[in-house]
């Protein structure tokens, strides 16, 4: 198990890289952006800035930690020898990025034994930056979560009917249809729904009390590695299908006192059918 001091050192590296990558991506956005390719569907896009930013991040990681592994959204995984993997989403919220909507982020985490679908060990450090607003959210394992030096804490004491819930949707039409059916069961039972377009920022928002709960299917490890640690260190309970660990099948996160009621609502609405 990595010590708190070692996690703090990893966080310092992650913070520096995330800030530099955010400046890189924001400058590229100001210069103009267009779709470079599509991935799973025509609406699942990648821009040249996604690829260039990830390449920039990879170069900085290898400069600082040449023996670690790297799991990134846009590039092939790099197998390391230390047991630590950097989990990178160079631009989380690419559609927002493309359209100029100021809700996208750079997400960088360090974890034990990470793959694209899930993280097997502990996440040790994580940083999420919104380059447009300049907000930086960060956490280290056992070290708490902060934004601009301010400690973060999830909202507690919120009943299910008053919970503001964040979620997201997939790119394939059939997946969206299934997600819409789940939403029909959830929406009448909570305060309202927010769909902001960046899972990393959704988790950071939960940590900062801007939403009370979130759920989403189809998230890869790079979507939630940093944000999940930030939420946990802010007091959230984070899980997956039938009480298991969060992975590509499902991520659920709320304050501990809301989790069971919210998870029951999701099951009743068919989220893990």
Cα–Cα distance, 48 to 31 (Å, whole number): 12
Q: Are the C-beta atoms of residues 168 and 195 closer than 8 Å to each other? A: yes
Q: Are the C-beta atoms of residues 248 and 218 closer than 8 Å to each other? A: yes
- β-strand pairing of 69-72 with 192-194: unpaired
The CATH fold of domain 4-151: Fructose-1,6-Bisphosphatase; Chain A, domain 1 (3.30.540)
Note whether 4-151 and 160-268 share their fold: no
**Residue found by looking up tokens 């694209």 in the block:** 116
Q: List beta partners, residue 165.
A: 193, 213
Task: Give the tens place of pLDDT for each residue, 116-167.
Answer: 888 999 999 999 999 999 999 999 999 999 998 999 999 999 999 999 999 9
Task: Give the tens place of pLDDT for each residue, 85-105.
Answer: 999 999 999 999 999 999 999
Lowest model confidence (mean pLDDT) among 64-68, 154-158, 160-164, 173-177: 173-177
Q: List the chain domain ranges.
A: 4-151, 160-268
The CATH fold of domain 160-268: D-Maltodextrin-Binding Protein; domain 2 (3.40.190)
What is the DSSP code string of 190-256? SSEEE--S-HHHHHHHHHTTS-SEEEESS--HHHHHHHHHHHHHTT-EEE-GGG----SS-EEEE-H
Q: Tell whether the model's pLDDT for residue 1 goes beyond 70.
A: no
What pTM was estimated for this model as a whole? 0.94
């Amino acid at each position: 198990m990595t010590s708190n001091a070692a996690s703090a050192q990893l966080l310092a590296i992650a913070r520096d890289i995330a800030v530099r990558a955010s400046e890189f991506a924001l400058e590229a956005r100001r210069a103009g952006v267009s779709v470079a390719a599509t991935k799973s569907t025509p609406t699942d896009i990648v821009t040249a800035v996604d690829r260039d930013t990830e390449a920039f991040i990879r170069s900085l990681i290898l400069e600082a930690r040449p023996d670690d592994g790297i799991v990134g959204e846009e590039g092939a995984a790099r197998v390391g020898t230390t047991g630590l993997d950097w989990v990178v989403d160079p631009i989380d919220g690419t559609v927002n990025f493309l359209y100029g909507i100021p809700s996208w982020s750079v997400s960088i985490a360090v974890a034990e034994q990470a793959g694209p679908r899930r993280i097997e060990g502990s996440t040790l450090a994580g940083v999420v930056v919104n380059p447009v607003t300049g907000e930086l959210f960060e956490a280290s394992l056992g070290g708490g979560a902060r934004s601009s030096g301010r400690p973060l804490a999830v909202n507690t004491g919120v009943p299910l009917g008053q919970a503001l819930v964040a979620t997201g949707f997939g790119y394939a039409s059939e997946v969206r249809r299934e997600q819409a059916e789940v939403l029909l069961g959830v929406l009448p039972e909570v305060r309202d729904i927010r769909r902001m377009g960046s899972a990393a920022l959704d988790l950071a928002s939960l940590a900062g009390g801007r939403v009370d709960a979130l759920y989403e299917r189809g998230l890869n490890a790079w979507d939630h590695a940093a944000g999940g640690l930030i939420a946990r260190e802010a007091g959230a309970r984070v899980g997956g299908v039938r009480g298991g660990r969060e992975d590509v099948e499902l991520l659920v996160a709320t304050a501990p006192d809301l989790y069971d009621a919210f998870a029951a609502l999701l099951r009743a609405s068919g989220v893990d059918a």
